[in-house]
Amino acid sequence: MLFNVIFWILAIWFVINVIWMWFQLNNQILQKTFAWINVCAIIIGFWVYYGVSHDRVGDN
């Protein structure tokens, strides 16, 4: 459940990001800001994926 929610939030974010940045190609400050937000989003996405896909120690 958590993975699905985070996945769709990140997927929608990346679509909005691509559309927004298409219209703001010359704004370097905005591009740097969105780049750092994307780095954080990717880290959060992998963190949630790892947490969902790996069993905790001792769970059988």
Q: Where are the domains of the chain?
A: 2-52
Judged by DSSP in three states, 40 sits in: helix
Query: What pLDDT is attached to residue 51?
Result: 76
Query: Which position has the higher pLDDT, 59 or 35?
Result: 35
Query: Higher model confidence: residue 54 or residue 55?
Result: 54
- Please state the rounded mean pLDDT for residues 12-28: 87
26: exposed, middle or buried (Cβ count in 10 Å: 0-12, 13-18, 19+): exposed
Distance CA 55, CA 28 (A): 42
Q: What is the pLDDT of residue 5?
A: 83
What was the pLDDT predicted at 47?
A: 83
